[in-house]
Amino acid sequence: MGRVTTASPDLWHHYGRIRATRDRAVPDTFRWTWSQEDGPGAEALGDLGGRVVGDLGSGTARHAAHLAVHHRPARVDAIDASPAQHAMATGLYGHLAPRLRFANADVVYHLRTSPGVYDVLYSVFGALDFTDPRELLPAASAALRPGGRLVFSSLAHYLGGTAAQPDVVPADIPVKTPDGEATTMRRWVLQARVWNKLLDESGLTRIDIALFPATEDGPRTADTLLVTATRPET
């Protein structure tokens, strides 16, 4: 389903691998904040009964599995470009098909080829953090049905406390290749006003950006931005 770029190494190969061997259960809760321990839950998405939902950068699909089991959607598409994440997700939750569907695809490509398909799109520190928003947000807007909702959480500042960017500029963050070699990938950590401008330029309205402070101190803690926007009815 969709296009996957395989020329470069899968920089998500190691992510979530240890947890996947220990915890195969469908999560009982859904959290947006960086700590995954507090703040709002799936109610931020609205009533999902009978709706078509897309998880953008779904990783091992834990959030998508929770929605498929506990919130009665017509379908949840777990969309991720990483072959490793796709394989782990299908291994963990493939039994939830057809309500939970897996797409190993570039998120922007998938959305561009799915006009007006989704009632709700969301991302929990997923594709919105790791894809140029000038490409992703217009594609998401077009993939939503009129009145459809986009909801995502993102870092309010860099881990360690450095302020978010005042412009649409990514940072290079350290990761490892599947072979364990050190490299970097791009991450967008933007100020709330920058997200607001990008969403408006993408044709989305009713934009709301809430800040949820970290509940503990430490070098890897962070405040969370929870962003909600809607495709206009007409």
Tokens encoding 150 = 């986009």
Domains of the chain, first to last = 17-218 (3.40.50.150)
Collapsing DSSP to helix, strand or coil, 219 comes out as: coil
Q: Which residue has the tokens 């009129």?
A: 146
The per-residue pLDDT for range 165-206, each reduced to its tens digit, is 999 999 998 888 988 899 999 999 999 999 999 999 999 999
Backbone torsions φ then ψ of 101, nearest 5 degrees: -120, 145
At 166 the pLDDT is 98
At 3 the pLDDT is 47
User: SS3 string of 152-176?
Assistant: EEEECECCCCCECECCCCCEEEEEE
